[in-house]
Structure 1
Amino acid sequence: MEEDYIKLIFGLKLKQIRTEKSLSLFGLSKLSGLSKSYLNEIENGKKYPKPDKIALLSEKLEVPYDQMVSLKLDKNLAPIGELLQSKILKEIPLELFGIKESNLIDIVSNAPAKVNAFISTIIEIAKHYNFSRESFFLASVRSFQEANNNYFDDLEQQVLKFSKAYQVDLTKSPGSKVLEEILVEEYQYVINEEELDKFEALENLRSVFVPKTNTLLLAKGIDEAQRSFIFAKELAYNYLEISDRLHSFPWIKFERFDQVLNNFYASYFAGALVIPKDELTIQLENLFQKESFDHVHFLNMMHNFNASPETFYQRLTNILPKEFNIKNLFFLRITHKADSGKFYLNKELHLTHHHSPRANETNEHYCRRWMSLKVIQEISKSKNSHEFDVQISNYPSHENRYLIFSSATKDPFRENQFRSISIGLLINKQLERKLKFLEDQNIVRKNVGVTCERCAIADCKVRKAPAIVLEKREKNSKIESIVDELTAKFQA
């Protein structure tokens, strides 16, 4: 364990023993002959006493020496011990969020019982919702993105430097051949497109990188956009000199938080390389100046870049906040198996924290009026490679309206599996000034909910479950009202 954590655990134990014996710091000082300030530093994890001092405390407090120095905490403080021994505080770069580890240690040492109760609560919630270490790390990265409005200028600048160094033309989206050539010539990559297909169990993998031989194994089923993104990501790892990385796409295992964070950095770099910022900004400006929404313009803009719909929508979440000051937005990815009746929200980003919907783990039914679900249902029944639509969604329960862009595609690696990618922009005065086509009456407008169980729309023909959450809330409200009336009646 880290030395600081050992100090903290000893301090927590000493404070607990002292408190159980109803001793103040002054009282323990008188009893042991050690100064009050010295004991205070021990309890706060600042100092670790020498063996003779531990022996003295052991004798005066009538606690065995071995128990004093053991790293095992009793059940009341066990979660704190588990947290410290897990090294989770070392895995997450707290400085990203402006937090010093020493500050957390001070909080723990000054209020161990309350912190312990809080940690226990978080652990129980995590268990209840099957919240894994992976989920925790991904949530941390997502919070980091949100804190920075999902725009990272240092990475944008690195892309510009890369393009200059390797003479990559950023007035257009670079093709996979251009990127592959740099990988092979500059970084001595070996591209293998035969090996992955020999293993049926690897059908969902797009790529695997073998660092010892600089071999990049590619799946045969990937299209041009996917090839470009994979190559761009590999270039990011090399150009940014990132060695602590994940080796498969999509990734299947990780060892440290830094690997998850570095995966995000490489993905951001790749998105910025295949969808250059200046070119996308110009095309968005042209779209926003139109009096009516131009479907063809939007689709052409998307297809002009050598990128998948998901990469394109992700890139919008970088550019809209920075170049257009549109920060109230969300991004969703939903997957669906044909005829299953189930939809899974497995990727999301909210640049402010009040947007609906959010992923939930309560097996509720997402609103079938969402544009995200509409396009995914359409593509599951058609033979089209891409479905796109736009909608203004009004959430009566939240009094918010969003302009929603949604695209759906077939999962090329899974039979009868489909996905939709959506971006929602909060409609407010600022958005109305930026987007001239918002008054276009050809854009469908619909009242929507978050989930059927929480939706108050009475005449919904696509409802999949009764509004049991609202019904329970209404019932509780009625009970509260009656209790208030009875209380007032018999207080008189």
Structure 2
Amino acid sequence: MDIEKDYIKLIFGLKLKQVRTQKNLSLFGLAKLTNLSKSYLNEIEKGKKYPKTDKILLLCEHLDVPYDQMVSLKLDNNLAPIGEILKSGILKEIPLELFGIQEADLIDIIANAPAKVNAFISTIIEIAQHYNLSRESFFLAALRSYQEAHSNYFEDLENQVIDFSKSFQINLDSKITIEELEAILKEEYDYTIKEIAFTDQEALEDLRSIYVPKSKTLLLSTEIDHPQKAFILAKEIAYNYLKLSNRLLTFSWIKFENFDQVLHNFYASYFAGALLLPRQLVVGKINDFLHNEKPNPEEFVALIESFEVSPESFYQRLTNLLPKDFHLKNLFFLRMSHRIGSDVYQIKKELHITNQQEPHANETNEHYCRRWVSVKTIDEAIRQDKPHFFDAQISSYVHSGNEYLVFSSATKDPFVNHNIRSISVGILINPAMKKKFRFIEGKPLVKRIVGVTCETCDVKDCLERAAPPIALEKKKRHDNTDFVVQQFINQYS
């Protein structure tokens, strides 16, 4: 598809519709004036056809518009933002079909309500500039929406793992070994695998692997542990088995060139997680854990460690399987990061299944609630100097009344020196959930009243508060002012 030609057709169509509507002409009326068919004019306005010169002259004559103005690609202020987004090619970069959207659908929306779409696009641009939203952030947000729309479970990838295991004679009832993963890469895909000290190069300190396509060489950092190595190898297998050529070359990622790389990185990661944590095996072990009426924290840690994967891989896998196999679709995934010695806790990754919005990342530099178990595990991992600190609690959100059972594991951040990170999964507590997690009614877990950020929280006498509730107090002042204003309006009406 010729993007430049498509852009020219779209711009002409938008300008024609803008002029026609300004003249208060219907398509039927313009067709009658010009003796051009209504369907032909409709296709021009939708950007599907570009009229020949004689037809453009005819339109200009009856619409009383200069020819040069109509064929110019310059747009007035009403259409300029739309032109920018069309010219940028962003609609080509994001595979809209993943969301069941055809590009023509968006063009129809733009053509039918250009002023409203212009206002919407202008708002998005302003928000992006205000929060310094990068291209990568935009792509990752689109990916997160895609995951959430599918409850983060992808049957086709699960089946691909099963097909792979049959083809390569991998037993999914037991753990796949690093030796098996290496053998597949070397013998089936002609890889050369080398371990080098990335820490010798300061610029590479945050990386764990580099793939060199030309020689099919995989460079692995000597600093990685067994779970990290297994995940990297499994991900490389995924790229090859799924035939994903447009891919990232480093782990962790440095930059995304386009949305396909974001999507393929997700597909490869999902495949790797499903291979290292086979669905039936994980579901069986979770059921065994849930049948225990009085489980202790050590048992949950043992469950994670039985797979020899990182806590993050295990928690990510839970977000695939809890909605599908346990019908628990109201959950969130959270990764928090904290630099030792600082007072800053940042949400680095989040996922909400069925759109429950607690907790959620914010861009206003507010302080996340220090009562979260996600924060507590980080603090305790530092205080107790433990490589893996696990805890769980019932978090009761003060504003909504929603309660979640939250599991959280804190470990050293493998990618950032002097940082600790926690991985958490929260499951909304409701009758269906209680039937699965019977122990929640037995030995009482710690229940804590929590907020989202200190600035928006009105929990009284909070000893953990990191900042006063200034945003909440401002809202209360505005609400009170509005109430008094309404009284005066009623009095003098």
TM-score relative to the length of structure 1: 0.96
- Say if 1:481 and 1:260 are closer, same or farther in 2 by CA, change over 3 A: same
Q: Which amino acid aligns with 1:324?
A: F
Task: Answer whether contact 1:171 1:279 (CA < 8 A) is retained.
Answer: yes
Query: Secondary structure of 1:409's partner?
Result: strand
Matched with 2:169 is 167
Stretch of structure 1 that moved more, 215-224 or 125-134 = 125-134
Where does 1:451-470 land on structure 2 (aligned, <5 Å)?
451-470=453-472
In structure 1, distance between residues paired with 2:434 and 2:450 = 21
Matched with 2:152 is 150
Task: Answer whether contact 1:172 1:305 (CA < 8 A) is retained.
Answer: no
Query: Secondary structure of 1:404's partner?
Result: strand
Where does 1:48-447 land on structure 2 (aligned, <5 Å)?
48-194=50-196, 196-447=198-449
In structure 2, distance between residues paired with 1:354 and 1:422 = 15
Task: Answer whether contact 2:331 2:356 (CA < 8 A) is retained.
Answer: no
Task: Answer whether contact 1:292 1:436 (CA < 8 A) is retained.
Answer: no
Stretch of structure 1 that moved more, 164-173 or 332-341 = 164-173
In structure 1, distance between residues paired with 2:28 and 2:102 = 30
In structure 2, distance between residues paired with 1:320 and 1:122 = 34
Quote the offset at 1:413 in angstroms.
4.3
Task: Answer whether contact 1:174 1:274 (CA < 8 A) is retained.
Answer: yes
Q: Which amino acid aligns with 1:281?
A: V
Q: How many residues align structurally?
A: 491
- Say if 1:27 and 1:281 are closer, same or farther in 2 by CA, change over 3 A: closer
In structure 2, distance between residues paired with 1:437 and 1:297 = 13
- Say if 1:40 and 1:278 are closer, same or farther in 2 by CA, change over 3 A: closer
Quote the offset at 1:36 in angstroms.
4.8
Task: Answer whether contact 1:371 1:390 (CA < 8 A) is retained.
Answer: yes
Q: Which amino acid aligns with 1:13?
A: K
CA deviation string 1:71-125 (max 9, x = no partner): 2212210111111111111111111111111111111111111111111111111
Q: Which amino acid aligns with 2:130?
A: H
- Say if 1:27 and 1:151 are closer, same or farther in 2 by CA, change over 3 A: closer
Q: Which amino acid aligns with 1:209?
A: Y
Stretch of structure 1 that moved more, 118-127 or 288-297 = 288-297
Q: Which amino acid aligns with 1:144?
A: Y
- Say if 1:363 and 1:62 are closer, same or farther in 2 by CA, change over 3 A: same
CA deviation string 1:385-404 (max 9, x = no partner): 11000111111211111001
Stretch of structure 1 that moved more, 238-247 or 42-51 = 42-51
In structure 2, distance between residues paired with 1:230 and 1:272 = 13
CA RMSD of aligned residues (A): 1.8
In structure 2, distance between residues paired with 1:374 and 1:107 = 47
Runs ≥4 in structure 1, deviation > 6 angstroms? none
Q: Which amino acid aligns with 1:339?
A: G
Stretch of structure 1 that moved more, 87-96 or 409-418 = 409-418
Q: Which amino acid aligns with 1:212?
A: K
Task: Answer whether contact 1:375 1:388 (CA < 8 A) is retained.
Answer: yes
Quote the offset at 1:20 in angstroms.
4.3
In structure 2, distance between residues paired with 1:25 and 1:144 = 37
CA deviation string 1:198-234 (max 9, x = no partner): 4211100111111111011111110000000000000
Quote the offset at 1:132 in angstroms.
1.6
- Say if 1:158 and 1:22 are closer, same or farther in 2 by CA, change over 3 A: closer
Matched with 1:483 is 485
- Say if 1:381 and 1:296 are closer, same or farther in 2 by CA, change over 3 A: closer
In structure 1, distance between residues paired with 2:194 and 2:112 = 57
Query: Secondary structure of 2:196's partner?
Result: coil
Percent identity over paired residues:
59
- Say if 1:25 and 1:170 are closer, same or farther in 2 by CA, change over 3 A: closer
Quote the offset at 1:26 in angstroms.
5.7
Query: Secondary structure of 2:463's partner?
Result: coil
Query: Secondary structure of 1:398's partner?
Result: coil
Quote the offset at 1:286 in angstroms.
1.1
Q: Which amino acid aligns with 1:314?
A: Q
In structure 2, distance between residues paired with 1:21 and 1:365 = 54
- Say if 1:234 and 1:461 are closer, same or farther in 2 by CA, change over 3 A: same
Query: Secondary structure of 2:439's partner?
Result: helix
Stretch of structure 1 that moved more, 85-94 or 266-275 = 85-94
CA deviation string 1:411-470 (max 9, x = no partner): 244332110000000000001111111023442111111100111111100101111122
Q: Which amino acid aligns with 1:312?
A: F
Task: Answer whether contact 2:336 2:421 (CA < 8 A) is retained.
Answer: yes
CA deviation string 1:356-399 (max 9, x = no partner): 11011010100000000001111223321110001111112111
Q: Which amino acid aligns with 2:317?
A: R
In structure 2, distance between residues paired with 1:60 and 1:489 = 57
In structure 2, distance between residues paired with 1:438 and 1:197 = 45
- Say if 1:440 and 1:154 are closer, same or farther in 2 by CA, change over 3 A: same
Q: Which amino acid aligns with 2:397?
A: Y
Q: Which of the numbers 34, 46, 49 marks the counterpart of 1:44?
A: 46
Stretch of structure 1 that moved more, 1-10 or 179-188 = 1-10
Q: Which amino acid aligns with 1:83?
A: I
Q: Which amino acid aligns with 1:254?
A: F
Q: Give unmatched runs, 5+ long, in structure 2.
A: none
Stretch of structure 1 that moved more, 418-427 or 100-109 = 100-109
CA deviation string 1:28-57 (max 9, x = no partner): 556545455543432232321101222333
Task: Answer whether contact 1:336 1:344 (CA < 8 A) is retained.
Answer: yes
Stretch of structure 1 that moved more, 363-372 or 273-282 = 273-282
Q: Give unmatched runs, 5+ long, in structure 1.
A: none
Matched with 1:450 is 452
In structure 1, distance between residues paired with 2:24 and 2:363 = 45
In structure 2, distance between residues paired with 1:306 and 1:54 = 68
In structure 2, distance between residues paired with 1:112 and 1:433 = 51
Stretch of structure 1 that moved more, 46-55 or 73-82 = 46-55
Query: Secondary structure of 2:367's partner?
Result: coil
Stretch of structure 1 that moved more, 89-98 or 13-22 = 13-22
